[in-house]
Structure 1
Amino acid sequence: MLTGSHRFPRQDLVTYGRPAAQALKEIAAQAGLKRLMIVTNRSLANSLARQLAAELGELCVGVAAGVGAHSPRESVMAGAEAARRLRADVLVALGGGSVIDATKVMQLALWAGLGRPEELDRYRAARSTPDRIDTARIPPGVRVIAVPTTLSAAEFTPFAGVTDTARRTKEGYTHPLLAPRAVILDAAMTRHTPDALWFSTGLKAIDHAVEQLCNPLRAPYADALAADGLKRLASGLAACKADPADLDARQACQFGMWLAISGAGAGRGLGASHAIGHTLGGSHGVSHGITSCVILPAVLAWNASADTGQQALVAELMGAPGRPAAEAVRDLARALGLPTDLKAIGIGPDTFQAIAEHTMHDSGVRANPRPITGPQDIVEILQLAAG
């Protein structure tokens, strides 16, 4: 397994190939941090979180284990309150995208002194009312160190999605320093991640790469990262399926995920697969990895008439030269035991119009290679994904 570290603009440090506890102790010593609070979900509370807390010893002042799926506002506020009570000087986000996104917004709640879920309203990225607060003007304080256990890539971005459970919508939050100050990629911490979660978040990482590569605006830097990331992910996920204990394959997937998301800041935006996925996640509770398994093949098929050759590149990078890109993605998802149509996840045609109308508000619609002119285009994509 490779070992080392890498510095890049969004984080102070990305470290890999070392045990997470060792890396955390070194980072804490270098930064003068003495009170680490682990943030996680209930499924990891009595396994990885307990193990990590024990290895950290007196450095760990507590574990906040209540983060729910899709990062509910209530989880954010409960975690922020625990951090205040424990006087934590850094939050350690241990888990997948929901845990990491929730912990990123906990920072915002701590910096701004927020205590109730509804107080987040004025800080939403998409809010355009006069009372909206510019989060960039909030002085930062307690930061996050991320120890991811999935391939969601939430740890590499300066924005987060949190669910308003009352409105059943996923809302975005951002700040220049919202991304964790350090990311620890320890493949061993992923060994107990359920296969369905590991593989589906791997398909989400593939979605990041594919929608960048197919974007009509070319950006060579982002293309190179996405292409290398896609190739590593496709081969790494297949290797993990063959041998779940293969830590080199798991680290290859982590590197692929890191590469695939790193070009997303090139300003081109992601497309309709992500846009529809946001709606299915916030309004229907479908995990974002599963949305990619189901929606990305349909989006690729719908976009095929506007393709300029990038879909052939996608198929080649996935080890399926000459095949339609939609089939390459769908075949991989099936080989990994994942659902590939809406019927399999309980989404029926009676919901398509509402999903389409909601999705039209997502910025991903405007970055799609084939122009989306209205809700009916989204309905066509959903019909292709229906099963």
Structure 2
Amino acid sequence: MATDPKEEYFRAFERDNRPYVSINLPFQTACAKHATSTFYASRIYIIVSNSISKSANFGKLKDALGDKIVGIRYGIRHHTPWPDVLETAREVHEKKADLLITLGAGSLTDGAKVVSFAVGNQAFDEDALSRIAEDAESDEKADPTSIKDPYPPIITIPTSLSGGEYNPFAGATDLRTDQKRAFRHPKIGPALIILDPELCTTTPQSVWLASGMRAVDHCVEGLAGVFFSPNSKANKEERSQAEKTFLEGLKGILPGLLATKKDEGDVEARKRAILGVVATMRGFKVGAPMGASHGIGHQLGPLGVGHGETSCVLLPSVLKWNLGQAQKKGQDWVQDRQTVVLEAFYADKDVATALKKRDLGREGAALGDVVKAFVQELGLPSSLKDVGVGPDQFDKLAKNAMTDGMLKTNPVPITGEEDVKEIIKLAAGA
């Protein structure tokens, strides 16, 4: 592969050969270069967001790839509905594509992952897709030895901060039940992630900031979660590495979000936030699990709430509930871990100043209140009422949330739907 002195090209995770990351080249230049010299692709299928498809940036990508493009999918709906995935998978298979490229934000990334997994396993209808889902019932689940690698490989060009491109799993919504279901495989993610802060200046501000709160949620639930409990099986080195990378993530993401809220054209702030996401995902790689904000959020999405907005709405309430329950049960370590996160928020002078303007000085501050204030400082929704989810939907949300595996790794055990409903009520809003 020919090198370019401007390009930084590195492994996202030190010990893994995938994904690689490219930054500092224009996205279309990096994409054309690696499509040819890394993947030797001649039949490229693109999944592009509807908004970007109407922009000059999409024209740049099409010009760079030329007649290698054999198909284009314009948009995948929020939370990756199965019909969108299956329709795309059938077309990718029919076109004999040898490379998938995504240009856009989170749902496209999850969509491409599941599309590639479906094509690799010839899963072109709902029953076949259900059999390769991680949560498939035992009587319908495919024999693990029969599961094949995803195909074709994926290049992802993200325009948000949600970070899903770094994970070896994906979520897609089964519209028959409105349940988001998980798909997992060591090779389900992209082989290459191309980062371009300049491209991200075209992302709608609300999408950019909300996806940034999703990244904050990764850091907060990682740092304050069961990975650091007295009963954790993680060793000292693993804990140290996870804490280091999550804190590094917050150090880049928090001020990066504030700066781009003030100035959408601040490319350096965007780069800082983007590299903060890379650091954050290294914490995931060590093995730190998420908790109830993610678990309930996965099922809030299919009710019509944007991916990042689920974190804006739920994370403060989950933190408050966890702290209150931990104090009742004598789980002092929960408060200790929330204090670690608090210190990270106040360590940045711009973040601390923004919080103090909202009457949240460091002394006596609670993490749930601090996160909610930060969400509000970004101008994002901070309650279920703000996102149009009312009491008539609470029972369904609680029931579906109990099927999500991340409730099992919440730092305070969630024993049933009533616990979930308590969190939901905290998040309801006036």
- Quote the offset at 1:45 in angstroms: 1.8
Bigger mean CA offset, 358-367 vs 271-280: 358-367
Match of 2:413 in 1: 371
Q: 1:373, 1:131 → 2: CA distance?
A: 27
Letter in 2 for 1:372: I
Match of 2:77 in 1: 68
Whether contact under 8 Å (2:78, 2:307) holds in the other structure is no
The answer as to 2:170 corresponding to 1:180 is no
Bigger mean CA offset, 179-188 vs 2-11: 2-11
Match of 1:288 in 2: 307
Q: 1:235, 1:134 → 2: CA distance?
A: 47
Q: 2:293, 2:29 → 1: CA distance?
A: 38
Match of 1:335 in 2: 377
Please give the secondary structure, in 2, of the residue aligned with 1:376: helix
Q: 2:62, 2:137 → 1: CA distance?
A: 42
Whether contact under 8 Å (2:149, 2:188) holds in the other structure is no
The one of 28, 34, 38 aligned to 1:21: 28
Structure 1 residues 84 and 191, CA gap change in structure 2 (3 angstroms): same
Letter in 2 for 1:295: L
Please give the secondary structure, in 2, of the residue aligned with 1:184: strand
The answer as to 2:340 corresponding to 1:313 is yes
Match of 1:195 in 2: 205
- Quote the offset at 1:216 in angstroms: 2.9
Match of 2:235 in 1: none
Aligned identity (percent) is 35
Bigger mean CA offset, 258-267 vs 289-298: 258-267
Structure with higher Rg: it is 2
The answer as to 2:248 corresponding to 1:244 is no
- Deviations 1:307-339 (Å, cap 9, x if unpaired)? 232212212212344432112211111111101
Letter in 1 for 2:113: K
The answer as to 2:136 corresponding to 1:127 is yes
TM normalised by structure 2 equals 0.85
Q: 2:195, 2:388 → 1: CA distance?
A: 34
Match of 1:168 in 2: 178
- Quote the offset at 1:268 in angstroms: 3.8
Q: 2:403, 2:90 → 1: CA distance?
A: 33
Q: 2:79, 2:299 → 1: CA distance?
A: 12
Match of 1:297 in 2: 316
The one of 5, 10, 17 aligned to 2:9: 5
The answer as to 2:246 corresponding to 1:226 is yes
Match of 1:260 in 2: 280
Please give the secondary structure, in 2, of the residue aligned with 1:337: coil
Bigger mean CA offset, 48-57 vs 169-178: 48-57
Structure 1 residues 263 and 33, CA gap change in structure 2 (3 angstroms): same
Whether contact under 8 Å (1:135, 1:174) holds in the other structure is no
Number of residue pairs matched? 385
Letter in 2 for 1:4: E
- Quote the offset at 1:50 in angstroms: 3.3
List aligned pairs for 1:43-122, cutoff 5 A: 43-47=51-55, 48-122=57-131
TM normalised by structure 1 equals 0.94
Q: 1:358, 1:36 → 2: CA distance?
A: 37
Structure 2 unpaired stretches of 5+: 1-5, 229-238, 327-333, 347-351, 353-361
Match of 2:359 in 1: none
Please give the secondary structure, in 2, of the residue aligned with 1:39: strand
Match of 2:42 in 1: 34
Q: 2:102, 2:266 → 1: CA distance?
A: 24
Q: 2:306, 2:193 → 1: CA distance?
A: 23
Structure 1 residues 21 and 247, CA gap change in structure 2 (3 angstroms): same
Q: CA RMSD in A?
A: 1.8
Q: 1:255, 1:73 → 2: CA distance?
A: 31
Structure 1 residues 159 and 216, CA gap change in structure 2 (3 angstroms): closer
Please give the secondary structure, in 1, of the residue aligned with 2:408: helix
Please give the secondary structure, in 2, of the residue aligned with 1:368: coil
List aligned pairs for 1:346-365, cutoff 5 A: 346-365=388-407
- Quote the offset at 1:134 in angstroms: 4.5
Q: 1:332, 1:246 → 2: CA distance?
A: 19
Match of 2:358 in 1: none
- Quote the offset at 1:94 in angstroms: 1.2
Please give the secondary structure, in 1, of the residue aligned with 2:193: strand
Please give the secondary structure, in 2, of the residue aligned with 1:24: helix
- Quote the offset at 1:361 in angstroms: 1.9
Q: 2:257, 2:7 → 1: CA distance?
A: 20
Whether contact under 8 Å (1:158, 1:176) holds in the other structure is yes
- Deviations 1:38-68 (Å, cap 9, x if unpaired)? 1123222222333311232233333211422
- Deviations 1:278-329 (Å, cap 9, x if unpaired)? 11013x1211210100110111111123223221221221234443211221
Please give the secondary structure, in 2, of the residue aligned with 1:38: strand
Whether contact under 8 Å (1:36, 1:62) holds in the other structure is yes
- Quote the offset at 1:267 in angstroms: 3.2
Please give the secondary structure, in 1, of the residue aligned with 2:97: coil
- Quote the offset at 1:95 in angstroms: 1.1
Whether contact under 8 Å (1:38, 1:49) holds in the other structure is no
Whether contact under 8 Å (2:250, 2:344) holds in the other structure is yes
Letter in 2 for 1:253: A
Q: 2:114, 2:155 → 1: CA distance?
A: 13
